[in-house]
Structures are given as structure tokens and as C-alpha cells.
Amino acid sequence: MKFLIIASYPASILKFRGALIQALQDKGFEIHVAAPEFNSYPEERDNLATLGYTVHDIPMQRTGTNPAADTKTLLALYRLMRKIKPDYMIGYTIKPVIYGSLAAKLARVPHRFALITGLGYAFQGAGYRDYKKSTLQKVMHRLYSVALASTHKVFFQNPDDEALFRALAILKPTAATKVVNGSGVDVSEYNVVPFPIINNKPALRFLLIARLLGDKGVKEYAQAARLVKAKYPQAQFDLVGWIDDNPDAIEQQELDSWINEELFNFWGKLDDVKPAIAASSIYVLPSYREGTPRTVLEAMAMGRPIITTDAPGCRETVIDGYNGYLVPVKAVEELAAAMERFIVNPELIIEMGKASRQLVEEKFDVDAVNQSMLEAMGL
């Protein structure tokens, strides 16, 4: 029996799907992994091969809609499936879901699944009363609709995304779906670590880890940091991330201005975020929408309280007032006020940090999440 996993970013495969793939291999599957640009990620390619997985490099532009390039992706996936004849396939992120699902239908793969890990630029603004789709969004929504109609089950990482797909009629009324608690996190890998201490109290050090996109709330984080530092100069703010070619990416000039203003201690892009989380006391993610944010789960597992938005995906990770605070999307003053609560009452950092670890163990343990997916696939 063969299982094909299709991804758009080689570096995400073991980080986000490693435990799921291992669980599939443990069930006796021969594992095949398809993604673009493996030559640029030789370490990831070699690690996958060492684990006994067969790696396939496919042509795929991660962003944009170039009809010729996307047709090339579809044909390459179809030819791959006709060659290896997988019994099961699953794609995650936009293009692997769309073109992987379509190719699997054409290649008559017996069991076809899709995992919606987040909605991204193609759904920016969706769910708001005055939502008007751009031409690109209309195209992507139509492609999603056709592709998902060819799958046997669609997995979502939060109930809001599933509800939105149904409200927009991207999913047929009879479509089989399953909501799982994100990608989960290995609680044995992300251990609780002590807070940095200053004057016998946890340091007032906030952290955001994200691709530097507008819809991750990076600008709101900067504006809130400015407000808080004006009132509490001892507060520190860390930023981990990078600028990519996403249409919503912030400008390098804006990042440089924040750094020059000394708003942040900028770490850049990290392969291992544990040192940054360990150096912080409070984790912040002011995102507009997520599947279920992996960095939040990692921070929770390491015993950090959370400030995030009352937005799809994000709200799943926080019980307001228990392990952190929920604030409205784009609400800079409310974000700063939530930060101030920890500054004024530093004992909350310890109390809510313990609650975060307990919640992640109860709800987001990776083995439980993967078992839920396997059962839903009939495995």
C-alpha cells in the first residue's frame, strides 16, 4: 500500500507533518512525498530519504496564478500518480490541495483527502459583511470547489474555516469533512522551560514568530510595542520571521524602520524557535486568521501565556483569562492593554503559563490529532 503526501514547501514537511507521516509508515504504508524545489532544501530531502520515504520533485510556483505553470504542476502530479499508483493521497496548502486533488481524481487514486491548514491571501476579507471577492479570489474559490468535489474527505483545522467554505458554497452540502485540532504539537519535544528572570520576577519580554505579512498582525504588534514601551520602557519585544514573496508581505523598509527605532530585538528566520520562546515570557500573535497557529502551540507547550486575536484558528488556542487573552483583530489599543495586564500583574505570567501547558496537553497533543485523522481516513 502506498501513501502520497503533497506539499508546497519542503521545509514544512517534517516540521508540520512528520508525526503524521511516521504514523502512516507505522501502519505499513510505503511513503511518497512530492514537493517543489527539493534541490534548494538538500537537508530536508536527505532527512526524508533517511526515514525511508521516496521523494519526488515537482514543478510548482508557491504563489501567484500562472495558468501555464499551474497546468504544468497538474500534469506533473498526474504523471507521478500514474507512475507510482498510490492507494491514498493527501495535499495540504493551496496548490497541493487544488492540483493534487484534481490530478488524483484523473489518475483514479482510490482514496483522496485534502487538509486545509489556513486560508491565506485567497480568502482575505472573507466572512465580513461587505466582502467583495477580487478576480483572483473568485478564480481560487472556483478551483477549490472543483478540486474538493473530487476528494473523499476534507480536513479543517478549525470550525470557522469549515463553516466559511460551506457559506461560500465551495463545499457541496453533502461533502464529508472533519475538524481536527490543528497540526498538533509533540509535547515531549517542546518541554516547559523556566522564564527569564529579572528582579526575582519573569522578565517583561514579548515575542511574535511569523512570516512578516500584514495579515499576521505584524504591524499591529509594532504599534502596540510602541505604545507599551512609551509607558513601560523596561518591556522588551522580540520578533522572529522573514519577508517572502507573498502579496501581503511587509516592505523591507518598514522592517528596517522598526529595527532602527529599537522597537524589537529582531532574530530573523530561525530553523529552531525554541531558543526564542525560552528567552520570552509572553507569546503574542495578532493574526487576522489562521488554521491553527503552530507557533502558539509551541509556545503553550513550553509554558508561555498567549495573547492572540479572537479570530478563526487563533481563538481555538486561548481560553480568555485562563491561559492568556483574546483581543479583536486589528485592535492595537486592546492588544497593548492585554500586554499591560502582564506588566502590572507579573504573577499572571506564571499562572497562565502553567494553564497553557495543561491546555496543549489536553487538546493539541500531536498523537491524538493524528489518530483522529487516521480514523477519519478509515485507517
- CATH for 300: 3.40.50.2000
Residue-wise pLDDT tens digits, 26-63 = 999 999 999 999 999 999 999 999 999 999 999 998 77
pLDDT of 128 > 60? The answer is no
Residue-wise pLDDT tens digits, 130-149 = 456 677 778 888 999 999 99
232 and 99: one domain? no
C-alpha cell at 270: 530561525
355 and 239: one domain? yes
Residues 376, 379: Cα–Cα separation, whole Å: 7
Residue-wise pLDDT tens digits, 215-245 = 999 999 999 999 999 999 999 999 999 987 7
Is 103 inside any structural domain? yes
Residue-wise pLDDT tens digits, 81-103 = 999 999 999 999 999 999 999 99
Residue identified by cell 487576522 is 288
121 and 76: one domain? yes
Task: Name the strand (E) or helix (H) holding 153.
Answer: strand 153-156
Contact 128, 137 (CB under 8 A): no
171 and 273: one domain? no
Structurally, the chain folds into a number of domains equal to: 2
91 and 11: one domain? yes
Give the pLDDT confidence score for residue 38 in this predicted structure.
94
Is 178 inside any structural domain? yes
249 and 352: one domain? yes
pLDDT confidence bin for 129, thresholds 50/70/90: very low
227 and 83: one domain? no
Give the pLDDT confidence score for residue 133 in this predicted structure.
67
pLDDT of 120 > 80? The answer is no
266 and 293: one domain? yes
**Domain span holding position 359:** 197-363
Mean pLDDT calculated for residue range 66-76:
92
Is 189 inside any structural domain? no
Whole-number percent of the chain with pLDDT over 90: 84
pLDDT, averaged across the chain:
93
Look up residue 176 and give its amino acid. Answer: A
What lies within 8 Å, CB to CB, of 163 at 6+ separation is none
pLDDT of 175 > 80? The answer is yes
- The predicted model scores a pTM of 0.88
123 and 178: one domain? yes
228 and 310: one domain? yes
The closest of 108, 93, 153 to 375, measured between CA atoms, is 153
162 and 254: one domain? no
Mean pLDDT calculated for residue range 328-347:
97
